[in-house]
Structure 1
Amino acid sequence: MRRILFWFLLGGLLGTGGGFALGVFFFPYIFPPPVANQQVADRAAQTVLGTGTFVHADPSDPIHWGRGSVSVLRDAAGGRIVYLEKDFEVGPGPDYRVYLVAHPAPRAKDDVRAAFIDLGGLAAFKGSQIYAIPEGVDLAAQGSVVIWCRAFAQLISPATIARVP
């Protein structure tokens, strides 16, 4: 009788833990956030500091991918932003963050872990989005914008920033 109770409790614990883990993994696929459509106010008044294109960091990985354009802009008041353009899209997942990374072309996790600035959580898997760059950040020392999965420490998609003269 004790043996049956042991296996019953063990199965219940493993089933609950496995179900929770699968729920965390599949939640973004089942209930994705709506497409973002944030617009930069008065785009003509913005100075383009740099541009880039998100790439598939590891083509052998069909789950972690990204594409689309990104711009680094400065407004008339001197504020700086990272603007994910309307063609931006990444494969869904949990706890995605937008990072500024010193490495100019990160393709591995260690390229990102060395030095990054967290700009905040990704608002949507698709569409235009705005992220403020904190004051005091030296943009010359930042080589790329990266979409990073904090929950699994996974590089999703990097974009090397080409400076605009």
Structure 2
Amino acid sequence: MGRVRKVLTRPWAIAVLVVAVGAVGFGLYWFQPWKLWQDETVQEALPGAAETSAPAVPPPSDEPSGPPSPATGPRTLASGELISHEHATSGTVRLVRLADGSHVVRLENLDTSNGPDLRVWLTDAPVKQGRAGWHVFDDGKYVSLGKLKGNKGSQNYALPPDVNPAGYSSVSIWCDRFDVSFGAAELARV
């Protein structure tokens, strides 16, 4: 017991202990390893889909009816399947124009790892298989649509009104902390 007390009273031993505790604390904050075992599931409906799921029946009228009006509900402009990059990732991505003219990126049946500082990015980068695709999405033009709401499920991300979706060709689940793609999808126009 006397030897332990003697070691802990030395200034260098206390400094090493403080640095070690600080390094462990910083490492836990930076890497957040507990997220590997935590899943966050988010299930959102597509905005405007509920209003257009059942067509409205017009009231009876003696007036002759004109041609039917075009559908005014959400319309898919482009879609693609997510491929894995840094982490196993699957699901479908859709670029959807809503009835009001706004746009959303919709992730459907998303399944990826949880991680620190995950974002959804709309980009102009090509989607590449394997390690070649891990770091390409921050090389060109991209728009961060916000933090990933959950690593599982279906969710919507609104495009800012000043963003023209025609200038973008892919979506990435991007880890901003480590500058790496967890997974990405090439958007094919429909």
TM-score under structure 1 length normalisation: 0.84
Name the count of aligned residue pairs: 157
1:135 is aligned to 161
Cα distance in structure 1, aligned partners of 2:95 and 2:139: 22
| Structure 2 residues not aligned, in runs of 5+ | 1-5, 53-72
- Pairwise CA RMSD of aligned residues? 2.1
Cα distance in structure 2, aligned partners of 1:110 and 1:77: 33
Matched, 1:105 2:127: yes
1:47 is aligned to 75
Cα distance in structure 1, aligned partners of 2:36 and 2:135: 23
- Large movers: runs of 4+ above 4 Å: none
Deviation, structure 1 residue 31: 4.3
Specify the SS of the correspondent of 2:154. strand
Equivalences for residues 140-155 of structure 1 within 5 A: 140-155=166-181
Q: Once the two structures are superposed, what CA deviation does each residue of 1:64-97 show, in whole Å capped at 9, x if it has no partner? A: 2311011110111101000111x11111110100
TM-score under structure 2 length normalisation: 0.74
Equivalences for residues 5-154 of structure 1 within 5 A: 5-24=11-30, 25-33=32-40, 35-43=41-49, 44=52, 45-57=73-85, 61=86, 64-85=87-108, 87-106=109-128, 107-154=133-180
| Structure 1 residues not aligned, in runs of 5+ | none
Give % identity.
Answer: 27
Please say which structure displays the higher CA radius of gyration. 2
1:163 is aligned to 189
